[in-house]
A = this chain, B = another copy of it.
Amino acid sequence: MGDALTALKSRLADVTSLSQINALLEWDLQTQMPPGGAEARARHMSVQSKLVHEMFTADETGRLIEAASAEVSGADYDSDDASLLRVARRDYERERKVPADLVAEVTRTTTLAHDIWAKARANNDFKSFMPSLQRIIELKIRVAECYGYTDHIYDALLDTYEPGLKTADVTAMFAGLRTELVPLVRAIGERVDAVDDSVLHQDFDPERQRQFAELVIRRFGYDFSRGRQDRAVHPFATNFSRNDVRITTRFDPRWLNPALFGTLHEAGHGMYEQGIGEELEGNILAGGTSLGVHESQSRLWENLIGRSRGFWTFFFPILQTYFPDQLGRVDLETFYRAINRVKPSFIRVEADEATYNLHIMMRFELEVDLLAGQLKVKDLPDAWNARSQTYLGIVPPTDTLGVLQDVHWSSGLIGYFPTYSIGNLLSAQLFEKAVEQNPTIPEEIRRGEFATLLHWLRENIHKHGRKYEPPELIRRATGEPLQSRSYMRYLKSKYGEIYGV
């Protein structure tokens, strides 16, 4: 290994360590920190972030990237060294493009905007949030201009969360969905009473909920010797190494879904990180390659597996032993239908599998129009409600239940929403391919066995870490680009049967 490459790796390993430490500060903040610690923690995280940024964007990093590139110029594209250099260069050039004072201005603005948004949502008062959102859009346009783009300004922001993905790809993806999904949801909407989910709303002791969910994810393959689970108000997964991956959940003592499906979801994220190739540990290639690919893993385990009949054929009898009074006399079919109830609703985070992507589609279209100057912030509530009518067939009675519901825009997260839909679509695309190559998987799931599936995900997705950008990774794994057909096939087959549509 050349001197420059050695020095670069050592520098990037330090950057990675400092940034993993920041993730621990955040995890502790969300799960352990006493209330009094907030102020000091803000100082800690700000100093630590500044250090990470300074060390990574220093001229020295650029110099080492150039020198190391010369050293490994003949290396195989797939090799760890060539990949490290590719990703280091991309990240470095990207982070150097936005001037520090613009980054600071975005941070300042969004920090203030968060409280203004929270109050506006509580008071159903969009007007009071308007100036902040206006300012955030202006700043994000400036950020996008710094990054640069070829086709569409939105590309520049999308690329932050989903490297290599273009606005045109997302537009095409949603076009494929729209024509089929809107009619499907309409048809289900007319038969919404065909499914009753009242069995899910009973008294469920949180500790027993926790035990059952833990039993499931252990069988999935979530490794507790390299991970743990805690409670958090807003569940998330994080990691400070492939060998220290932490998931969180929350419990509703009167509703089975949040902790159960939330745990399967976060375990999906967690198993991705636990499956990153050992040889990538501790450097910038360690970690999931994008938010969308990450979400494909969480959605696959939560929905494609966790809401499937095969899965519950094995696990429902076990769940009944955890809650004999509540579920002892419920049959599998009633339970299966209950956890797959579809109902158009106002709030994205409560949406079912079928309607979820319609929520995202709306937000994507509105973001694109806002960035392109084709929609003004003051007209946003009307545009929101019109699209809600078109896609979901319902109009929120208040902005609190509509345009003000999500935290994302107040935090400056524009270009982020599409990654949720990418995750959904990709989950079905990957699962279809895995089963095509391993036809025994469905039968194994009915026996509560997941090793073949997890192995396929490890080999095709997890182990590569950040070596490949999402479009390349998806093509390698499935032989084609991201598409919506698999997901639509999945939805139509499943919900066609449940709802008879």
Residues of A that sit less than 8 Å from B by CB:
13-14, 17-18, 20-21, 24-25, 28, 32-37, 39-41, 43-44, 47-48, 51, 223-228, 240-241, 243-244, 281-282
Contacts and interface: CB of A to CB of B under 8 A. Distances in A.
Given A47-B17, A244-B41, A34 B282 contact: no
Contacts of A223: 36
Given A14-B47, A43-B282, A282-B43, A243 B36 contact: yes
Given A13-B43, A14-B47, A43-B13, A225 B36 contact: yes
Given A14-B47, A28-B28, A51-B51, A20 B36 contact: no
The 10 closest A-B pairs by CB, nearest first: A37-B244, A40-B241, A36-B226, A36-B243, A17-B47, A17-B44, A14-B47, A34-B228, A21-B44, A17-B43
**Number of copies of this chain in the oligomer?**
2
Q: Is the interface of A mostly helix, strand, loop or mixed?
A: helix
A207 B369 CA distance: 58
Given A20-B40, A24-B25, A40-B240, 6 more contacts: A32-B32, A34-B227, A34-B244, A36-B227, A36-B244, A37-B241
A32 B33 CA distance: 13
Given A14-B47, A44-B17, A240 B37 contact: yes
A252 to B, nearest CB: 25
Nearest to A223: B36
Contact of A32 (B17, B35, B47, B228): B228
Which of A35, A47, A226, A227 has the most chain B CB atoms closer than 10 A to its own CB? A47
B240 A34 contact: no
A473 B176 CA distance: 75
Contacts of A41: 240-241, 244
A24 B45 CA distance: 12
B244 A33 contact: yes
A40 B243 contact: yes
Nearest to A15: B47
Given A17-B43, A43-B17, A47-B17, A37 B226 contact: yes
Contacts of A43: 13, 17, 282
Nearest to A18: B47
Contacts of A224: 34
Contacts of A227: 34, 36
Contacts of A37: 226, 240-241, 243-244
A207 to B, nearest CB: 14
7 contacts: A17-B47, A17-B48, A24-B24, A34-B244, A40-B241, A40-B243, A41-B241
Contacts of A32: 32, 228
A177 B362 CA distance: 79
A227 B37 CA distance: 8
A33 B21 CA distance: 13
B40 A226 contact: no
A292 B501 CA distance: 77
